[in-house]
Structure formats: C-alpha cells, structure tokens
Structure 1
Amino acid sequence: MTDPGMRSSLSTPLISRRPRFNFDADAVGRYSEAIARFFGTGTYLLIQTVIVIIWIIINVAVVALRFDPYPFILLNLAFSTQAAYAAPLILLAQNRQEDRDKDSVQEDRLRATQTKADTEFLARELASVRLSVGENVTRDYLRRELEDLRGSVERIETLLVGLDGDRGNTFRRKTDSD
C-alpha cells in the first residue's frame, strides 16, 4: 500500500468520494419536451390567464385574503421563476428536435444515395436488355428472310430447269449428229 502523503501513480484511477447522480438524460429530454410542448398550447395560456386573473382579484378585491398587494411582486417573481425554467426546457427540446432532424436528413441522404444507385443499376440493366433484344431475331425478320430464301431457291430451280432443258437439247443434238 502507498503512503497517504505520496501521490498515486497516474495509471491508477482516482476513487471519487463525491456522490454521483445517475439520471437518464433521455428521460430528462423527453420530460422537458413534454413540458415545452405544453407551454406552447392554448390550454396552458388559458390556465395561466385564469390563475393571473384570480390572483389579481383576490389581491385587489378581497381585502382579508391579500397576500400580494398591488405591485404584485410575488406574481412577478412567479413569472420570473417560470421563465427561468421554461427557457432552458424549450432550448433542450429544440436541441433534441434538431438532433432528430439531423438524423432524418442523414437518413434521407442515405436513402437518396441508395435510390440513385438502384436507378443507375436498373438503367444499365434496361440498356443491356435493349441491346440483347436488338441482337435477337424477331419472328417478322425471320419470315422475311425465309421468304427471300424461298424466292431465291425458286429462281435457282427455274434456272436449273432451264439449264437441264438446254443440256437435254444439247445432248440430243450431239447424239443426233453422231
């Protein structure tokens, strides 16, 4: 064990003797958002207006219950305290919303990038299919080619028949003259 007067090594963590408060920052954020959301409603404004009117009526009209006479210093202090707590809660809620918006924008960018990549892939695939279809023989093209071949074969047969007829005549002439 080390001497209490000597300093411990820097590699040894200090043990804190202060009590630590463990609280869920997300829960605090959710709570502050709920309060900030309530501050922005008509219900809150109505309740606050009714309380202020009752406060003023009690302190002006009902002499026996006067606890905050005319300059209404206690009411002013209550509003100041409320504003002191409301402003940071609203800012915290705005910061959390800003973080959510950043996450949403980032997610939208990733989705847009993926959609663009998918679209480019599909465009390449479509171009490939178009090229493949362009190289394939269609039924109409094959019919025309077969009709052209049939016509060519018929012409060749006609020529052959004509040549056979001439050969037969030539052969007969040679045999007749012999």
Structure 2
Amino acid sequence: MAAVMTAKHALGADEAKLLGELRALRRSQRAHAPDAHIPRLTLGQRVADQVAANMGSWRFIIIQSAVLVVWIALNLTAYVRHWDPYPFILLNLALSFQAAYAAPFIMMSQNRQQDIDRQQAANDYRVNVKAELEIELLHDKIDELRGKEVLALTQAVENLTNLLRKSEGGRGD
C-alpha cells in the first residue's frame, strides 16, 4: 500500500484527483445497465432518423429514379393525357417540395448524430487520460520495485562480501 501511496504522490495532487474522479465515473457507469446512458428518442428524432435512413438508401434512389423515368415517359408519349408536358414544371415542383421537406429531417438526424459523436469523443478522451495516468502509476510502481530490488541486491552483495572477508580472515590466522 505504501508503494501505491508513493506512486500517487509521484503523479501530483491534480493528476491523482483526476484519476480518482475518472475511476469513480467508470465505476458508476459500470454499475448502471449498459443501455442506461442511451437517451430515449422523441417521436421527431425517430422520424428524422427514419427519413434520413430511407432517403440515403439505394432502395430510395432506385425507386425514385424509376418513378421519374415513368413520369417522363408517360408525359412524352401519347399513351396518356400529358398532365405535365415538357419542361415538366409539375415534376420540378414535386422534387423541390421533396427536397424542401427532406433537408430539415436529414439535418436534424445529422445534428443528433453529431451530438452522439461529440459525447463519444469526450468519453474517449477521458478513457485516454485515465489510461495515461494509470500507465504512469504502473511505471512509478515498477521503478519503485526495481529500486527495492537493486537495494536488496546491493545489500546481498555487501553481505556476501563481508562473509568472504570473514572467511578469508579466518583462513589467514
């Protein structure tokens, strides 16, 4: 325990306090359920995430492309009444309407994801600081053990030297 106290003093008061806080934070996080820190999403957040996920998928792009091709083909051919003749003003209006409503949903989802990423980065930083302080403590403990080992070896060499001198002194008489 004295080695731990010595090593903590080697860190400095501020670093030892920070390490204690980080350890306590980690213990409290482990005490809670793994999903306890995940906030509940509001209806708006769920809708924004769903819209962003769907509009950013290949399925959406393929379906929208097919609808556009059918729309243009029907309005260029004589099979049906031309409800949106070239230059397709109604189609342009529909796509503008879609973009005007999709952009805020996508931005809300991105902003929420940014907040999550920022929180994860802050957690990563705390973990890195804690790891650095823990490694520094380990280095201090190893240095202390090495110092004790060198001291014990030095003492053993002195004892052996004294024994040799005594044995040589006893033979010379």
Indicate yes or no: 2:164 matched with 1:147: yes
Aligned residue number for residue 55 of structure 1:
71
* 1:27 aligned residue (26, 43, 46): 43
TM-score by length of 1: 0.65
Q: Which amino acid aligns with 1:93?
A: S
Give the superposition deviation at 1:125: 0.8
Counterpart code for 1:147? L
What is the alpha-carbon distance in structure 2 between the residues aligned to residue 30 and residue 74 of structure 1? Answer: 31
Matched ranges for 1:1-178 at <5 A = 26-137=42-153, 141=157, 142-155=159-172, 158=173
Query: How far apart, CA to CA, are the structure 1 residues paired with 2:106 and 2:126?
Result: 30
Whole-Å Cα distance in 1 between the matches of residues 53 and 165 of structure 2? 82
Q: Which residue of 2 aligns with 1:11?
A: none
Deviations 1:88-143 (A, max 9, x none): 01111110111011101110111011111101111111111011111114797354
Taking a change above 3 Å as real, the CA distance of residues 153 and 26 of structure 1, as seen in their structure-2 partners, is farther
Q: Matches of 1:30 and 1:147 in 2, distance apart?
A: 83
Distance in 2, matches of 1:80 and 1:129, equals 72
For 1:66, what is the secondary structure of its paired residue? coil
Structure with bigger gyration radius: 1
How far the C-alpha of 1:56 sits from its partner, in A, is 1.0
Most deviating of 117-126 and 34-43: 34-43
Q: Which runs of 5+ in 2 are unaligned?
A: 1-39
- 2:147 and 2:82 map into 1 onto residues whose CA distance is 92
- Bigger RCO (CA 8 Å, 6+ sep): 2
Q: Which runs of 5+ in 1 are unaligned?
A: 1-23, 159-178
What is the Cα-based RMSD across aligned positions, in Å?
2.3
- Paired with 1:42 and 1:65, the residues of 2 have a C-alpha distance of 31
Q: Which residue of 2 aligns with 1:20?
A: none
**C-alpha distance after superposition, 1:53-98 (max 9, x if no partner):** 1011111214434322223222111101100111101111110111
- Select the structure that is richer in helix: 2
**How many positions carry a matched residue from both structures?**
133
Percent sequence identity over matched residues? 30
